[in-house]
Amino acid sequence: MSDEARKLGRLIADSDSVVVLTGAGISVPSGIPDFRTPGTGIWEKVNPMEVAHIDSFRRDPALFWSFYRERLNALSDIAPNRAHEVLVEMERDGLIRAVITQNIDTLHERAGQQEVIEVHGSIRTSSCSACGAKVLLQDLEDRFDEQGVASCPLCLSALRPDVVLFGEMLPPDEMLHATQLAAAADLLVCVGSSLEVHPVAGLPEITLAAGGKVGIVTQGPTPYDEVAEVVCSGDVVAELEAALAAAET
């Protein structure tokens, strides 16, 4: 067990209100590539402004779905990993209050996490851009037409996944909840996030301004490394398992 993981575990055990913020790095052990790692990141292969922007969906839904259809099908077959399970155990043991996630993969919920705030939406459903009808992920593949566009079962307009696209605001209720949790946290533990995508990247600053502490578990630098109470830069599963063991001793 590293000294950093041991320190993080003690911080978690000694704090009254611990909130966890997760990014793409926590899902990498499940087989989901992150977005920005050189050579393997999702945005290394495609231009997000062309395939994941709200204007792309409106302008060319077939091009938009050529990316998202493959991505959603891949995500539907992915299972939670041990890092997700550790956070579930921490919640059950009363060590953490909630998980705020930037991820759309629903893996926290599928692992058994009870309090999850999905600030970037999720792949759970897709919605009609015209009438608002919703289609569950497991039914989505049946909705694709000959042009490769998912269409509404009621009015045949184009469906879109219920995730936050580039060019869109984050859902206000979820973001307000996340902000309130960060402000009330004695400790905000940031797991698998580069903390570069705003406004979510501003949550650690909110915790710090309110007198709380920040812990980081991620590979690669973040803007908060110098002000964090502890930085764990090893494998996310190993670091979280070690932190849990230290918190329970």
Catalogue the active-site residues: 120
- Give dist(CA 99, CA 113) in Å, integer: 8
Cα 99 vs. chain centroid, distance in angstroms? 9
DSSP H or E stretch at residue 62: helix 61-76
Three-state DSSP class for 98? Answer: strand
- Give dist(CA 126, CA 106) in Å, integer: 14
> DSSP letter at 9?
H
Cβ count near 233 (within 10 Å): 16
Dig out the tokens for 27 from the structure. Answer: 């899902």
> DSSP letter at 223?
T
